[in-house]
Structure 1
Amino acid sequence: MAALDKRLREEMQYEIRALQRRLGITTIAVTHDQSEALVMSDEIFVLKDGMLQQSGSPEDLYHNPCNEFVATFLGESNILQGQVAGPDDEPSLTLGESLRIPLAKPAPQAGMQSAYMLRPEAIEVAPIQRASNVTVHAEVIDRVFCGDVVRLRLQLRDAPGTTLIAKVGAARSREVPDLGSMVPASWRSEDMIIVKRP
């Protein structure tokens, strides 16, 4: 379907999915288009270099990837890498010299290097509208209106060199800060999923 324009391709994906369900047929499709795989599949098998990385429902793979490859292959994601700090009852991930991000329990042992995935849509940028237990301050270094979302690139103030991608729904696009603004960015520690590194 790569030769079709975007709108027609999306319509065809939904039509084919409806046809598969109506006829009750099993279909195996090979695609490099991640959004096509998410829309058309009941089960996805992610391969890398001929090796199965993970299989499961589109939702499960999107929200609970087993490793960094699957996390970055299925949708945009932020990978936060750092050292786990204790105590065990209040684990955190240290980014840069001193920024500590609270982690959900159970967490890896203190002292371990770990990588966590955080989806851009899990990050809220001022004004914050839902409960969260992680807040960092960041500068908006890129702002792109994409139609249904505004994509922001944020440079963390207390972890130089660490950037995050955040996505804000278009309904709130007028509230999105301008380039160069310093803003709070918040999320829930439960939205950070530990992933294996390659």
Structure 2
Amino acid sequence: MDDRVIIRFDHVTKQYDDDLPVLDDVSFEMERGKFYTLLGPSGCGKTTILRLIAGFIEPTKGDIYFHGKRMNNVPANKRQVNTVFQDYALFPHLNVFENVAFGLRIKKVPKVDIEQKVKEALRFVNLEGYEQRAIHEMSGGQRQRVAIARAIVNEPDVLLLDEPLSALDLKLRTEMQYELRELQRRLGITFIFVTHDQEEALAMSDEIFVLNKGKIEQRGTPKDIYDEPVNRFVADFIGESNIITGTMIDDFVVEFANQRFTCIDRGFTNNEQVDIVIRPEDLELTTVERGKLRVRVDSVLFRGVHYELCCYDAYGNEWLVHSTKKAEIGEEIGLHFEPEAIHVMKRNGGE
């Protein structure tokens, strides 16, 4: 096995009683030193993967490996893994220093080493000088950093983060995204981050796993996931999309909205029914004469950096457009796009 691989799931299923599997025959590998994000809607299985890695639960079927060694029955406290929970799980009666030192004291680490390790962990998360601060005196972002310091002080091979930003306001969440990403780079350990926030996943990850109903729909870099979704679910879940049905006439020629367009896709059967994805930011608002599509504006919302237009063509297809230009409700406009903006997917779920 590749020595870069730190975690491997081999046909892992997790099922409770006679219910449908929460995780259904999942296999994957994760390499050391990368930032992975498990992304998907509630109930898709992402937190179950985290709990299996942590050792909080055991798989119903299949095997889990760390550094090539089977870990199915290894208890959580024997794994080189630490978890940062959604509610941080800090001890309110202990100050910052004692919260971070708690795990080391349980392991009976010498006092002088505890002092050094705790100070180093707090330095990593920019909380030097906060050692004696009470937890209730800390802001949400500071508490999160205390929880991270408590996790990294034990020098884990893998840090698991279960939606740790969900309780923060939008501005603080954005700041903490940058801080977490920079922290992972400095530590050089594997981060596995759970979220249902698509923008968060795209901003932070080296690689994203998109989950749905206990299965991995797609894994890849943020750019791969966004630009090349493998099916309608991924395209719809990752960012906003215009998804309509069409026909692949031939290599590089696709038909939708009763017109034929040049695209960059190939390898489909002639006249195969397909799904078409065009992102709202790839549609340029223009004149009817210049546009490849002719649409009528149904609604306009100002989103700060752009206008969001909802339009309809003569065939009942809805088109979402993000543009710095404004149009009036009821106005007829043209939409222009390049061949590269058209992404063609098989109707049964693949590219």
User: Is TM-score (shorter-chain normalized) higher than 0.5?
Assistant: yes
Asked if the contact 2:265–2:343 (Cα under 8 Å) also holds between the matched residues in 1, the reply is no
Report what 1:135 is aligned to.
292
Aligned-pair CA distance for 1:90: 6.8
Q: In the alignment, is the contact (CA less than 8 A) between 2:291 and 2:334 conserved in 1?
A: no
Give the equivalent residue in structure 1 for 2:69: none
Give 1:105 shift. 4.7
- Structure 1 residue 114 displacement after superposition: 0.9
Query: Aligned ranges for residues 58-69 of structure 1 at < 5 Å?
Result: 58-69=222-233
Aligned to 2:220: 56
Task: Quote the residue 1:19 is aligned against.
Answer: 183
Q: What is aligned with 1:164?
A: 319
Per the alignment, residue 255 of structure 2 pairs with 93
Confirm or deny: 8 A CA contact 2:275 2:344 kept in the other structure: yes
In the alignment, structure 1 residue 33 sits paired with structure 2 residue 183: no
Kindly state the Cα deviation for residue 89 of structure 1 after the two structures are TM-superposed.
6.8
Using the alignment, how far apart are the partners of 2:252 and 2:182 within structure 1?
A: 47
| Post-superposition offset of 1:108 | 2.9
The more displaced of 71-80 and 187-196 is 187-196
Query: Which stretch shifts more, 35-44 or 133-142?
Result: 133-142
Residues 10-38 of structure 1: CA distance to partner in whole angstroms, max 9, x if unpaired? 11111111111112121101111111111
Q: For residues 163-185 of structure 1, what are the alpha-carbon distances to aligned partners after superposition, in whole Å with 9 as ceiling and x for unaligned?
A: 111111xxx3xx31111110010
Change (3 A) 1:20 1:34: same
Give the aligned residue type for 2:246. Answer: G
For 1:78 and 1:192, locate their aligned partners in 2 and report how far apart those are by CA, in whole Å: 10
Indicate the residue corresponding to 1:145 in structure 2. 302
Question: What secondary structure is seen at the aligned counterpart in 2 of 1:93?
Answer: strand
Q: Which amino acid aligns with 1:117?
A: V
Q: CA deviation at 1:84?
A: 3.3
Unmatched 5+ stretches in structure 1: none
| Percent identity over paired residues | 39
Give the Å deviation of 1:39. Answer: 1.2
Summarize the Cα distance change of 1:127–1:12 in structure 2 as closer, same or farther, 3 Å threshold: farther
Normalising to structure 1: TM-score of the pair?
0.84
8 Å CA contact 1:93, 1:103 repeated in 2:
no
**Residue of 255, 263, 271 corresponding to 1:103:** 263
Which of 272, 276, 287 is equivalent to 1:116? 276
Please tell me the root mean square deviation across aligned C-alpha atoms, in Å.
2.2
1:78 paired to 2:242:
yes
Any conservation in 2 of the 1:44–1:58 contact (CA below 8 Å)?
A: yes
Take 1:89 and 1:45, find their aligned partners in 2: how far apart are those partners?
30
Give the total of aligned pairs: 183
Give 1:67 shift. 1.0
From the superposition, tell whether residues 81 and 10 of structure 1 become closer, same or farther in structure 2 (CA, over 3 Å): same
Alpha-carbon spacing, 1:135–1:53, altered in 2? closer, same or farther (3 Å): same
**1:92 Cα offset (Å):** 2.9
What's the CA shift for 1:47? Answer: 1.0
Kept in 2, the 8 Å contact 1:126–1:176? The answer is no
DSSP 3-state at the match of 1:140: strand
Q: 2:190, 2:332 → 1: CA distance?
A: 51
Question: Which is greater in Rg?
Answer: 2
